[in-house]
Structure 1
Amino acid sequence: MRLPTRSLALLTLSGLLLGIPAHAAWDASLDQALALTEAGRAQQAFELLEAKEMERSGDPDFDLVLGIAANQAGHYTRAIFALERALMVSPNNARARAELGRALYAVGDNTSAKSMLGQAKAQGIPIEAARTIDQLLQTIDRIESEAGSSTRAYVEAILGHDNNVNSGPTSKVFGLKPIASGFSGLGFQVSGRKAIAPRWSAIGSFGAVSRAHDANALTYDSNQLDASLGASYRAGRNEYTAALQIDNSTIANAPARSGWNITGEWTHRLDAFRQFNAYAQIGQLSYPQKTRNVDRYVFGAAYGQQFRSELSVYASAYLGQEVTSQPGVGHLGHRLVGGRLGMQQPFGSTLALFGALNVEDRRYNGPDPFFLDTRHDQQWGLSAGMHWIPAKAWRITPQWNYLQTVSNISTSSSEKHTLSVSARREF
């Protein structure tokens, strides 16, 4: 089997860096771990040292060997933490710096990887290792030049149950009540990025989703199409994107809503594990009832981080408004503010648990002509589920969602639970 260029470079560099001198804190367990790693049993070496990490964390020899074993076993996040500790105590350790460059390269932080590898080479390492670093640096340059071009696609099927398909009011009002139904769906998406200059790429996507319900809820069968086209500019740890997005949806084969928006986004990667982004979006939503048409403006920011345990968390906040485009219906527009919190915890390479909380507050722009009160909605939702990868390119996701809207307008208060299982095939 032929290994990818990235994997070959990493394995070669690691092999050249295994021969390291013993220092005062060296002991038999480090010799054993190195021997296991050289014998191709890096996972066993990693487990041997991991059990002692709390006790010996901060010992540069221990952290270096732990980092080497973690790199070889594919635990790059753990390798980075261990090797950063080693360099804090022993900043002139060229081998630790080279291994850290290797780990950063593996997680995709090419800028930091190039810096670390260049510094390691300048500090002085064996000739063969220096040659391998040169090859790795050339590989990074090539990957960066090609990074602007990629294509991804998936198809997905879903089965589930929704206890409130129509978002009916919590308490029966004017004969309105929730409608429960099972549902099935099918969707796909194709997305791509094409390099058009050293730092510039064209980006785009196209997707569709169709959902069908039980006989008692056929009038809520839906279809949705969406597409986007834009450009991306990368400079170091920063990426700037601008894209036009359009979407169109139908319910019971009748037009339900169409819309477009232009989104500008700035993403700043603080390091391999932390990322910040901010965005601005302007657009328009159109409905068959023209009085409901609105111009929409949203501004937001988000922060994401991965921890040593490979736990990933994110938090975001946003605000905006919808302004009616027709006269005399200002009460249909509103101001909004919201936020999201989410996490994902992997367990090995085939299983991950995830959860999210979102909240949104909507204050409308005038009194409702029927209820003679200005509408105020408070909405919050919870979701939890699991990603399971039974085979390469396949993902099974059982998921639970809860959504509650509390409003001073009785017909706008609702509550729903959704259970579903989806199967996705990626290409």
Structure 2
Amino acid sequence: MAVLGAGATAAHAATPAPPATTSPQLEALLAQEAQQAGNPDFDYALGVAALDAGHLSRAIFALERVVAVQPGNGPARAELARAYLAAGDVARGREELMLVRRSELPPEAAQAIDRVLGALDASHSADRQRRINGYVEASLARDSNVNSATNAGQFALPAFGGLLFTMAPEARQRSDTVLGAAAGASAQVPLSADWDLVAGANLRATSPRQVHEMQTTVADFSLGATHLGEDRSQTLAWQSTGAWLDGGRYRTAHGVAAQWQQQLDRSTQGNVFAQLSRQSYAGQAERNTDRGVLGLALARSFGEGQRLAYGSVYRVRERPRDGANGGLNDHHGHQGYGARLGAEQALGPATLFVEWQVERRHYGGTEPLFDVRRHDHQSDWLAGLRWSIGRQWQLLPQLRRTIARSNVVLYDYQRTVVQVAVRREF
């Protein structure tokens, strides 16, 4: 009967618990709690009486003491499930019902629990409605180094005995005003009680007013599945990216990405992520690489979600695919590591965000013409606002600063981008 009672209550788990009351039976049991707590029979009676009177926390504590010393006590687990469900903890309530269901039960009790579990699963799927989000964006930016080039006018070439080489003006750092446009969409569709289909696509284009050869278009697409647990999720997805430069195909990348996300507590979330991809450059097969990334991330909110801090560390490796020429392409591959730190602060209708990222890269082989192994150290700073200017409209001013230090002068540069974007979400 306790099992059937738990089943009946579980079917109404979404309804709020009744207000707490007292009864002579509960008062008598509470008077003995100090002496009798730990006695399974007493704790069971106390738990049921407290649950019936709406004292959910006291009921849960008492019933948890019972199952701690009597793990096979089906009636106690059923009442504990009822208490969890009444408190809104559906995941733990479902777990307790599953434990009861695995024991030997009368047929009618087993059928009742099966109906309740089915109702809970259906309710869980219904709560996770299909979500489809999208955006369009237009931007205007001033870029101090639109071609990410060095500002050095002359440099020596060790491979030619220190011969001085003069850079053409168009190959050096150039500033420009850049127009941008972007659009994207994402979808999350429940497939079952604990599986979701996830997909996303983005398209972004930039058009400098003067340096037309730096017009870029980038498109990416992902499709995968997410498995949802009580306080964790795992996602595996296929990702494809294509980049075009000055109207011609520049690079493509295809691969898989995986993520394990764990809710550590109410305000803290941890992630482990990995990515494997194959990068191919149009007309430059010697640059083709296989890329792998492995990292850890942590995020924590403060002040009832008004502030957010996050960070990550990762390891990256790119290995050249063309090894038929005796390792002459090794300088296109590298090993590296990086870190990212960021924070957000809500300011009324706006959110201030800042971010810092650093990456060190050590390349293989010897850089042609320079007779050295290339080493890079890149730092990026970002600061901006997400400012709500109307229903589903945002104004996004931001400032980005990049400093790339390299022992090969061609890859040593600095860049500052000031941008204002308007975004419409739907």
Name the SS of the counterpart of 2:369 in structure 1.
Answer: coil
**Ranges in structure 1 where 5+ consecutive residues have no aligned partner:** 1-11, 21-93, 99-112, 123-137
Deviation per residue, 1:163-208 (Å, 9 max, x gap): 0011111433431421101111111111101111211111111221
Name the SS of the counterpart of 1:331 in structure 2.
Answer: helix
**What is the distance in 2 between the residues matched to 1:277 and 1:304?**
9
Preserved CA contact (<8 Å) 2:196 2:225: yes
Preserved CA contact (<8 Å) 1:148 1:201: no
Aligned residue identity for 1:190: A
TM-score of the pair, normalised by structure 1: 0.68
**What is the distance in 1 between the residues matched to 2:394 and 2:122?**
32
Name the SS of the counterpart of 2:364 in structure 1.
Answer: strand
1:248-267 to 2 correspondence within 5 Å?
A: 248-267=242-261
Q: How big is the shift at 1:331?
A: 1.0
Q: How big is the shift at 1:145?
A: 3.8
Preserved CA contact (<8 Å) 2:291 2:318: yes
Aligned residue identity for 1:164: N
Deviation per residue, 1:254-278 (Å, 9 max, x gap): 1111111201110001233110000
State the identity %: 26
Distance change in 2, residues 1:315/1:219 (3 Å):
same
Give RMSD over aligned pairs.
Answer: 2.9
Preserved CA contact (<8 Å) 1:240 1:264: yes
1:201 pairs with 2:161: no
- Residue 309 of structure 2 is matched in structure 1 by 313
1:12-411 to 2 correspondence within 5 Å?
A: 116-117=87-88, 142=123, 144-147=125-128, 149-173=130-154, 174-175=166-167, 176-214=171-209, 216-288=210-282, 289-308=284-303, 310-327=306-323, 328-348=328-348, 350-411=349-410
Aligned residue identity for 1:326: D
**What is the distance in 2 between the residues matched to 1:146 and 1:325?**
47
Preserved CA contact (<8 Å) 1:183 1:213: yes
Deviation per residue, 1:222-258 (Å, 9 max, x gap): 1111111111101111100000000111111011111
Paired residues in the alignment total: 312
Aligned residue identity for 1:319: R
Aligned residue identity for 2:307: L
Q: How big is the shift at 1:117?
A: 3.8
**What is the distance in 2 between the residues matched to 1:321 and 1:166?**
25
Q: How big is the shift at 1:140?
A: 11
Rg (Cα) greater in structure = 2
Q: How big is the shift at 1:369?
A: 2.1
**What is the distance in 1 between the residues matched to 2:178 and 2:382?**
18
TM-score of the pair, normalised by structure 2: 0.68
**Ranges in structure 2 where 5+ consecutive residues have no aligned partner:** 1-14, 22-53, 59-83, 94-118, 155-165
**What is the distance in 2 between the residues matched to 1:400 and 1:200?**
39
- Residue 412 of structure 2 is matched in structure 1 by 413
Preserved CA contact (<8 Å) 1:247 1:258: yes
